[in-house]
A and B are shown apart, each in its own frame.
Chain A
Amino acid sequence: MSIVVGVSFMVGTYLIMARSLLSVVIGLNMLAHGSHLLLLTMAGLKTGAPPLLDRPETAFSDPLPQALILTAIVISFGITAFTIAIAYRTYKVYQTDDLEQLRGSPDE
């Protein structure tokens, strides 16, 4: 698991260094997924029954990390959608998705 986290951080970091707007968005998304996975890994992976009433088992798994990750995924889903929309509009307005050309001069 920690290797997967490392790889997705690596890929994400590489992608946000790229010049294309879309790869930045995908890179940020990769990083977000990496951090969600990290949350799950750090919380400790234990096998156990779902923590519900009316279950015969005695060992339950910790529901909190799952809840946290679900929330974080929902948030990153919303933000990714918004980022794509912004990136798309930026591309439409400037007719380029190259970040070098989007730098803008300091005084305009």
Chain B
Amino acid sequence: MNNLIILPIVIPAIIGALLVFFAKSQKIQRFISVITMTAILFVSIWLSIDVYQNGIQVIALGDWPMPFGIPLVADMFATVMILLSSVVGIFCLFFAFRTIHPNRERFYFYPFYFFLIAGVNGTFLTGDLFNLFVFFEVTLIASYILIVHGSTAFQLRESFKYLAMNVFASMFFVVGVAYIYATTGTMNIAHIGLRVEELGQEGVLNVVAIVLLFVFAMKGALFPLYFWLPRSYTGPPAVVSALFVGLLTKIGIYAIIRVFTVIFNHEISFTHNIILILAGLTMLVGVLGAVAKYDFKSILAYHSVSQVGYMVMGLGIFTPLALAGAIYFMVHHSIVKAGLFLFSGVAEKITGTTDIKQMGGLLKTHPAFSWLFFVTAMSLAGIPPLAGFFGKFTLIVPGLSEGHYVVVAVSLIVGLLTLFSMMKIFSYSFWGRQKHSASQAKIKTRDLLVAISPFVVTTIAMGLAAEPIFSYFLDMAHELLDPSIYIESVLEE
């Protein structure tokens, strides 16, 4: 029992509720939110250290005995994800101070921001399949509100589609839960994992696996179900897009990795091959979409789709190194892509457009901004000293040694195309003739850059410190690939 685990969920939830009372006062809201995010960051660091030293930490909510009660489980994977969510959360918060319109601030932006964080952390920590659904819904409800926040005509139309898609997927989640409950008679992820081994009903479980894969693929924007993502991520303000791309698609991927390591590990040749095929297609389709687009945010959104493919590819290959690479890539992608979305917000603020054909010459008027963008974009494309390279490298090496040549080839091509479309943004909007007016050229971006630079610093640091990070992530991957560790520590509680 360790009550520390509930804090990353309960603190943002309580503060979110509290902030509703202060909705009228901008200063108090900002003050409380900064303090809270810092507190959450410290709690998650503390929790990570605790888990690293003492192994998996479990708490049974309400003191119910284990297979019946609802557990919260903090293993290494979960703590890394919480750390990620609080880092992305705190950086985005600073950017939000600078860019979110005061009217939006007054209209409960921060409460829902914190509800989103609470939901995301809950998803990472819960050890109960149905609670996973509940936290998904908490996150999604907060996201529906953030995505429609401001209610421009475009936002309304796109968010209705986003909403309809997600409600549909959630319904299938309930269906999947129903099947799991019917076959195993339990909702506790660890207990399900145990029962799956005992039951040996491959046929039914494969069906359930595909139903759940469908659900998580919808949330995580995997190949046939990615189409909602690019358009709904271009509508809301940059900081909301950054938060979504940093956290929201990650909960889908997290759920896929969690469920397909602990529960559905009975027939890897079937399920994980499907995942591998989907990964390849996702990468390819996403990057092709990005190559075809000329809108700053659209390009980034399509790239997110293609990079979801890389993360899932690591799961499909299913070796420790590949899994460590996939998680490294998830962390790297959250940080880099959130940073890039914030850059698109800055570019929009300077030039008043998101169409890269109508931009140009930013390098001359805003050199610091341009070079920071360049570093981040190169990290995304995977240029060696930066984080993106190590993420891709550690996926490709085990891919080759396991003989998945097609996927590896696809991922290499996609890497090249990513570089191409990043260069496309750079050459259109930063080089060339200056297309924004002289008054626009004078817009100060220092404050905004200070808010973004932590992302850039983090990605450089992740690249330079790849060695220690990987040794940590490899431990984590071993822990993930041996579900009995997870199962035992939960059921012993």
The answer on a CB contact under 8 Å between B163 and A42 is no
The answer on a CB contact under 8 Å between A86 and B148 is yes
Segment touching A, from B2-10, B149-157, B262-270: B149-157
> Could you give, for residues 390-414 of chain B, a 1 whenever the CB lies within 8 Å of some chain A CB and a 0 otherwise?
0000000000000000000000000
Q: Is A11 an interface residue (CB 8 A)?
A: no
A55 CA to B86 CA in the complex, in Å? 48
Q: Is B141 an interface residue (CB 8 A)?
A: yes
**Given the complex, which residues of A lie within 8 Å of B171, measured CB to CB?**
28, 31-32, 34-35
Q: Is B493 an interface residue (CB 8 A)?
A: no
Interface residue ranges, A against B (CB under 8 Å): 16, 21, 24, 28, 31-32, 34-36, 38-39, 41-44, 64-65, 68, 71-72, 75-76, 78-79, 82-83, 86-87, 89-90, 93-94, 102, 104, 107-108
Name the residue on A nearest B145 (C-beta): A82
Q: Is B168 an interface residue (CB 8 A)?
A: yes
List residues of B (170-197) whose CB comes within 8 Å of A's CBs. 170-172, 174-175, 177-179, 181-182, 187
Q: Is B159 an interface residue (CB 8 A)?
A: yes
**Given the complex, which residues of A lie within 8 Å of B455, measured CB to CB?**
none
Contact of A78 (CB < 8 Å), options: B141, B154, B175, B181 = B141
**Given the complex, which residues of B lie within 8 Å of A32, measured CB to CB?**
167, 170-171, 174
Which bracket fits the contact residues of B?
20 to 34
Chain A: minimal CB distance from B357 (Å): 11
A34 CA to B160 CA in the complex, in Å? 22
Chain B: minimal CB distance from A1 (Å): 12
Name the residue on B nearest A24 (C-beta): B164
**Given the complex, which residues of B lie within 8 Å of A94, measured CB to CB?**
153, 156-157
A76 CA to B159 CA in the complex, in Å? 17
Chain B: minimal CB distance from A22 (Å): 12
Contact of A68 (CB < 8 Å), options: B130, B167, B182 = B130
Extra contacts besides A32-B171, A104-B154 (12): CB < 8 Å = A28-B164, A35-B171, A35-B174, A38-B174, A39-B175, A42-B181, A71-B134, A90-B160, A93-B151, A94-B153, A94-B157, A104-B157
